[in-house]
Amino acid sequence: MSAIVQAQTQVVTDPKGFQLSPGNRRWILWSILLGFAALAFGVFQGFVQGLNYAGISLFTMLPGMKTYYEGLTAHGVLNAFIFTFAEANGWLSLTTARGLGQNLNSKLLALSFIFLLLGTVFAGIPIFAGKASVLYTFYPPLRAHWAFYFGIALAVVSTWIISAAQLLALSAWRKEHKGERIPLMAYVSIMTYIMWDISSLGAAAEDLFLLLPWSLNLLPGSDPLLSRVLFWYTGHQIVYYWLLPAYVSWYICIPRLVGGKLFSDSLARIAFIMFVVLVPVGFHHQYTDPGVGNYYKIAVLFLTFGIAFPSLLTAFSIMYALEIGGRANGGKGILGWFWKLPWSNPAVSAQVLAMIAFLPGGITGIMNASYNMNLLIHNTTFVPGHFHLTLGSAVTLSYFGIAYWLIPYLTGKELVLKGLARWQPWIYFLGILIFARGEISGGILGMPRRTAMAIINYDPLPGWKLAGALTGIGGTIMFIACVLFFLVIFFTLILGKPRETQEDIPFGETYLGAAPSGWQLVLDKLSYWVLLSFILIGLVYGPFLLTHLPPKLTAPPFQGF
């Protein structure tokens, strides 16, 4: 029993309880709601995009929508940037505060929310005005209105503000708890933002020093190759900024929700350390770029396979917790425990289904990172099929599950429409499997991504029509499931009854807790891992930057407005 208590106290500072301040509660809630509002607009555009592959052209009928690419840009920016930034800012602020047992600086949380809201407005207006149809990758020489780049910069700065709030809280905590291990809930939350701080530097530099001044005609032209390199330095790691907040819930909350226990505190920390260290893998998105040498492509090929390892550690840790919980509920045999999980709890079912969908998402990611396979599937629908199994399922479904207990926690209101909430994750799960099946099979057959398939003036290749139909059907089912989720959350906010008692965040226990001495102490030396990350970045990206700086600003803009 004493070992369990010791382990539990290392997950959070004070297991007995924590009082979230009104300021923290307010800005965390507003951040979460802003993210879901962005998702609502984004998934509608996604619904239209899915029907496009089925040969149904709705985007030409939408009021104010000028082109297919305007809708695709809105879908990508709102879902991949605003939704994920807002959810991570709110969710990991809460887990950091609960883990450390002290509230974050409410003024910084408010400032972060304001920056993200302004960023959404600045980026959104030119998108819907048809002046920023550059997709979420915004490659030059495609040029958007300056407000788009300014809005993206504000959104990124909002995440840095949250990281600053986390680190300030950690510094204060360490002064009061000298010699103690960082509580696991706070550790994984802070490491997620440290990873993102390092990873976001590439796209931030591209945006602030190349694209924004270029859009204001302060630079004579653009450097497409350098811009692509800087973008993809960030562009792959943003996947982990999407994913790691879900991992935080899987590691910390899911064991408690299913009645299990996490296997090892140290194993969880090592997984997050690997995500911090193995940052420089972006070149594998540029296997077909002629300006990138083989040294860089080969280096990141091995690093990309390496960064799959912490996800394997995560799979082991979470499966262990799930099996312990299922067997505690009466599960027998090799897989009998699986059916004994609390499937009637949508907070559990959504996240476990997210994990299952993430399995093919990870496998297709390894396929993308394989050089020869990448040459076949690059710029085909295989790619969005893959990342809809990651961002579109592992991340989004997990946030759905988190919201089913988090919104009641933050508002003090009971969840309504619980029957609908129980079915919603299953409907979404069915939709994503059909959608991804269509996209991936179409991609293997050469069906192009980022193409208005509904209005192409050439005959589709054999197999494209079936793949497109599956994409449209799956996307429609996903859209219906999202509408059901928004209904549950909306009516909870306006009709939910006050809760009689305030429940704590569901945090679990570990069998092997954080050791107070020995080699494991180095895991909490955050600066060591940051330094190691920058050394590896220098080895991979240093030679390229030395030979490509200063930038060659010679490419004239292509501007569609």
Point out the residues that are catalytic.
236, 240, 386-388, 449-450
290 Cβ partners below 8 Å, 6+ apart?
none
**CA separation for the pair 153, 165 (Å, rounded):** 19
Q: What are phi and psi of 40, to 5 degrees?
A: -60, -45
Three-state DSSP state, 512: strand
Task: List for the chain the helix, strand, coil content (%; round to 5).
Answer: 70, 0, 25
- Distance from C-alpha of 512 to C-alpha of 266, rounded to nearest angstrom: 8
Instruction: Report d(CA 443, CA 386) in Å as an integer.
Output: 10
Cα separation values, 268 from 185, 275, 491, Å: 10, 11, 36
Select from 236, 282, 88, 195 the least CA-distant residue to 529: 195
The token pair at 333 is 């045999």
Task: Report the run of H or E that residue 264 belongs to, with start and end.
Answer: strand 262-264
Buried b (16+ CB within 10 A) or exposed e, 91-127: bbbbbbbbbbbbbbbbebbbbbbebbbbbbebbbebb
Distance CA 537, CA 158 (A): 24
Question: Six-digit token pair at 233?
Answer: 């330095």
Identity at 197, one-letter amino acid code: D
Round to whole Å and give the CA distance between 541 and 201.
13
What secondary structure letter does DSSP report for 262? E
Closest of 137, 148, 114 to residue 224, by C-alpha = 137
Yes or no: say if 542 and 446 are a contact pair by the CB < 8 Å rule.
no
Those residues with Cβ within 8 angstroms of residue 119's Cβ, 6 or more apart along the chain or in another chain: 82, 151, 152, 153, 154, 155, 156, 157, 158
Q: Which residues contact 367 (CB under 8 A, 6 or more apart)?
A: 373, 374, 377, 382, 386
